[in-house]
A and B are shown apart, each in its own frame.
Chain A
Amino acid sequence: MDYLTRMGDGRPVRMSKEQIKADIEAGTKDAAEKAHVPELSGAEQEHLLEIITDPNRLVAVEPGREVVLTHDVGPLKVMADQSNSGVSIPCSREQAMCIYEKAFSADTAELGHIDYSFKPVKPIITQEQSVLQNVLHMTILPIFYGAMPNLGLYYAPDGPFPEPIGLIKDRKIGEAKESMENAAHRFVEDLEYITVRLYEVGLDALNIDTTGAGGDADFYASLTATEKIKKECPYLCVEMGMAGEFILGFHTELKYQGVKLAGLWPHQQASLAEKAGVDIFGPVVNTKPSLSFPLNIARAVTLVKHCVKESKIPIHVNMGMGVGGIPMYETPPVDAVTRASKAMVEIAEVDGL
């Protein structure tokens, strides 16, 4: 007998129970070796096998084991076109937030700017304050404001500092490091400016999303910004969502509270995030499109389970296209999405998705 499952790019594939079992073993082993964390136990691997081979198209957790959902990309999933991961429904951002609350019964909703990077929010902050004020009047669920650090916007051609990877290629490594440090400091100033103004209007929470996309300087900037923000906005919840499973080292020497940032894995990232004052941490495990769903989800659950175990703050794992074991496909297949989500709740024991 064989079972319908997926490849990491979403293609359907039929695998025998033995093949699935072998891929689960390979996935947990790969994660354990790379991140120096424990493999899933025999019982956990068996439970994952049961979830993957469940004959139903959709699977779910048992009643009482539901977890909280937070969302990224703000209202864009409703309003934006498909290339921006949306469904292109013509409506305002205020209406989109109401749809999250009243139609989706969402636990939280996130306001965001169409560019979804923090830097462009600064010159239009009064517009964002005005929309936030409207949203807060129209809804009762917790409202996040989310965007990406996207340090790339601080480098040429979009920003004032030279592009560091080009400098590294030209062996100007000192200059590259200086450029990354400058970009990080500018981002901290910008995020502080933006957040304080949104907090004044009554913002409930901030989502620093896709942290680390620009490597260790990006993570450094987000941690430093969080520390400052928590001092100025003590009642604001800060969620930090990551961009990848480990911190790329472009600068390589940056440290936060004495810990070198390059090469950190989810459990180590969460620990630093907590020290910076982050309230909810969103680890990411990248899906490998050419490998199977069983291998990818086993890898992801192994890394996230250890992150949950080591963390004292809530862990809301990133689940979506190309992360959390879910296939890299614009509209991720629902069979894989529900299986991955169930595995994260029941085996990794995450606090939220």
Chain B
Amino acid sequence: MSSEEALKKLYDAIFAQDVEAASKAANDCVAAGLDPLKALEAASKAMTDLGNLFERGEVFLPQVVVAADAMKAAAQVLLSKLPTKPSKAGRVLIGTVEGDVHDVGKGIVSVLLDAAGFEVIDIGRDVPTKVFVEKVKELKPNIVGCSALMTVTRVGQKAVIDALAKEGIRDQVKVMVGGGATTGVWAEEIGADAWGEDGPDSVRKAKKLLGITE
């Protein structure tokens, strides 16, 4: 099998959300003498292309999750050929702020972050500000994500940021906000580090905050 064929098979397997085929294609890449990093690039491109289709509503959450598993299966093979072992992209603590029970959007962001290699700790909906602070102290995430759907509950995002500052731990964690009632201007106004417009944008911003290149 030529290098090009092996790379195409790997891309196609991940794009088709076929975990077994992705693992086999990764082994074929190794057998074809390909640089594992080059094969990982092809695998990542399949995930990026699926992510674009997800943004357009042509691919859905379960498919992205299975594709991420296919990506992980391929990565396991390819990374074993590298001298250094992989680590998680970062730890994200995520929840919907106090007074807001909407969690569909937060759930989507949570799944997509997980699929992108982050360790995600989802603390649920209607989470009291003090719980956000306690969990940040206890779990020491790289990023804390605060979701709010309503204009009347988004003030809870500011409350979390203020509480982190009051406890003297604001500079130890990046704060991302998102949800239907939020904007980039709002995020700036309340002193958040980033605003996620939707699921894929939240993943991009989380990577950017932690200096991870796409």
Could you tell me which A residues sit within 8 Å of B by CB distance? Answer: 7-9, 11, 34, 82-83, 152, 165-166, 168-169, 171, 173, 176, 213-215, 246, 248-252, 262-263, 286, 288-290, 321-322, 328-330
- Say which one of B33-41, B157-165, B180-188, B203-211 lies at the interface with A: B180-188
Query: Are A34's CB and B104's CB within 8 A?
Result: no
Within 8 Å CB of B69, what residues of A?
171
Q: What's the minimum C-beta distance from A97 to chain B, rounded to whole angstroms?
A: 25
Per the bound structure, the CA–CA distance linking A262 and B63 in Å amounts to 12
Pick the contact of A169: B63, B99, B110 (CB < 8 A).
B110
Whether B61 contacts A168 by the Cβ 8 Å rule is yes
Name the A residues within 8 Å of B122 (CB-CB). Answer: 166, 169
Binding site for A on B (CB under 8 A): 56-58, 60-63, 65-66, 69, 99, 101, 103-104, 107-108, 110-111, 114, 120, 122, 150-153, 180-186, 197
B58 touches A165 (CB 8 A): no
Q: Is the CB of A34 within 8 A of B56?
A: yes
| Residue from A9, A252, A290 within 8 A of B62 (CB atoms) | A252
With A9-B186, A168-B65, A290-B183 as known contacts, state yes or no: A252 contacts B60, CB within 8 Å.
Answer: yes
Interface pair A168/B185, CB less than 8 Å apart: no
Nearest A residue to B107 via CB reads: A165
Specify the chain B residue showing the minimal Cβ separation from A263. B57
- By the criterion CB–CB under 8 Å, are B60 and A328 in contact? no
Which single member of A214, A246, A249, A289 contacts B181 (CB below 8 Å)? A289
Q: A169-B114, A289-B181 are in contact. Are A249 and B186 (CB under 8 A)?
A: no
Smallest CB–CB gap between B194 and chain A, Å?
13
Inside 8 A of A321's CB, which chain B residues have their CB? 151
Pairwise interchain contact A11-B110, C-beta atoms closer than 8 A = no
Q: Is the interface of A mostly helix, strand, loop or mixed?
A: loop
CA distance A213 to B108 in the complex (A): 13
* CA gap between A328 and B149 in the complex, in Å: 10
Closest to B153 in A: A83
User: Shortest Cβ distance from A209 into chain B, in angstroms?
Assistant: 16
Contacting pair B65 A328 (CB below 8 A): no
Chain A residues within an 8 Å CB radius of B182: 289
Given A83-B99, A168-B61, A250-B61, 6 more A-B residue pairs with CB atoms under 8 Å apart are A34-B56, A82-B152, A169-B65, A248-B60, A252-B61, A289-B183
Q: Is the pair B186, A328 in contact by a Cβ cutoff of 8 Å?
A: no
Known: A166-B107, A213-B104, A330-B152. A11 touches B65 (CB 8 A): no
Q: Which has the most chain A C-beta neighbours within 10 Å: B62, B152, B185?
A: B62
Q: How far is the CA of A169 from the CA of B113 in the complex (A)?
A: 10
Asked if A290 and B184 make an inter-chain contact with CB atoms under 8 angstroms apart, the answer reads: yes
Smallest CB–CB gap between B188 and chain A, Å? 11
Kindly identify which residue among B60, B120, B180 contacts A262, using a CB–CB cutoff of 8 Å.
B60
B186 touches A168 (CB 8 A): no
User: Which of chain A's residues have a CB closer than 8 A to the CB of B111?
Assistant: 165, 168-169
Please give me the residue from chain A that is nearest to B112 by CB atom: A169
**Pairs A-B, 10 closest by C-beta atoms:** A249-B60, A165-B107, A83-B152, A289-B183, A330-B151, A9-B183, A252-B60, A246-B57, A290-B183, A263-B57
